Amino acid sequence: MRRLIVLFLVSLLLISFCGKKNDQQTTEEIFEKAVPVNVEVVNEQTINLAITVSGEVVPFYKVTIFPKAGGLVVKEFAKSGERVKKDQVLAEVKQDIPGMEYANVKIKATTSGVITRDIVNVGDRVNVQTPAYEISKLNPIDVRLDVPERYFSEISKGMEITLLLDAFPGESFSGKIREISPVIDSRSRMLSVKVAVNNSAGRLRPGMFARAKLTVGSRSGLVVPLDAIIKSGVERFVYAIRQNRARLISVETGEFLDSMVEVTGDLKSGDQIVVMGQNMLSDATLVKIIEEK
C-alpha cells in the first residue's frame, strides 16, 4: 500500500512538470512573432541542356576575280566596300604586247555582292594569275561555329540557332544551320558548322566574334526563381517552408532558364520556398505567408 502511494505521488509530480513545460512552450509560441514572406512553389519541368560555342561571321560565299590578260592597270572603277552587280566593270588593263595595239581588257565582276578586297591599283602590272578583287555575298551572311565532336549527333541542318555578337551587346540574332562540315578537325576535335543569318540591314560584318547556344539534350528537373537563391561564398541555399517555419536548405544549381534556375537538394515539386523576406530569416524562423505565386 505504501508503495502504491509513493508511485501515485511520483506520477502527480511528472504530470505537473510536463504541464508546466507545455505551458511554457505554448507561451513562447504565442509571443514569437511570425515573419511575413512571399513564397513560390517548386516546379518540375523539362530542362533543355545547352552548350555555348563560339565562332565568327563569314561571307555566305566569296569569289576572287582575276584579269583575263596580263598588262598594266590603267583604270579602276570600284573600291573595297562598294556593292557591285554581276558583269559590272571594275578595272581596265592595257595589254603588254609589243608593236600591237589592243583594246583595254576589262576586269568584270563575275557575281553580285560587296567588294571585300580591292587588291590591284592603277599602275600595277598584272597577269592572269594575279588576284584583282574579292567579292562576297553578305546577305544572307554566315556565322561559322566550332562545335565539339561529342555533340555531332545533336545538330542537324535547319536547326534554329540564337546568336550573340560582342559588337551588339544585349541583342540576339536568329539563324538556321545550313551546312555541317563532312570532316572533323583531327587536332581540335571540332566540327565546323555554318549558320545562315538574315543581314538585309548590313549590320553584320565578316570577322565579328559570335557566340551561340546549342540545345544538346533535355532532362526533367526542379526549378525555382532566381530570387529564391541565397549565396554564401560558393554555397547556395533556399528557405523552404516546413510546418510554418523557414528551413534553410542547401542546394546545387544547374541550368539557368531566364528568371528560373534548376536546383538539386532536399526539395520536391510543390514545396513552398521563400522569394521575398529572406534577409529577416534564419533557420527555423516562424513565418507568415503573405503571397503565394
User: What are the extents of the domains in the chain?
Assistant: 34-48+220-292, 51-59+139-218, 61-136
Domain 61-136: give its CATH code: 2.40.50.100
Is the N-terminal amide bond of 140 cis, ω within 30° of 0?
A: yes
pLDDT on residue 11:
56
C-alpha cell at 47: 530542362
**Residue 282: per-residue pLDDT:** 94
| Second-level CATH architecture of 51-59+139-218 | Beta Barrel (2.40)
The SS3 of residue 29 is helix
pLDDT, residue 120, reads 94
CB 146 within 8 A of CB 188: yes
pLDDT computed for residue 222 by the predictor = 97
* Residue ranges in the chain whose pLDDT is less than 70: 1-31, 98-100
Q: So what's the pLDDT on residue 10?
A: 46
Q: CA 67 to CA 89: how far, in whole Å?
A: 11
For domain 34-48+220-292, the CATH architecture is Beta Barrel (2.40)
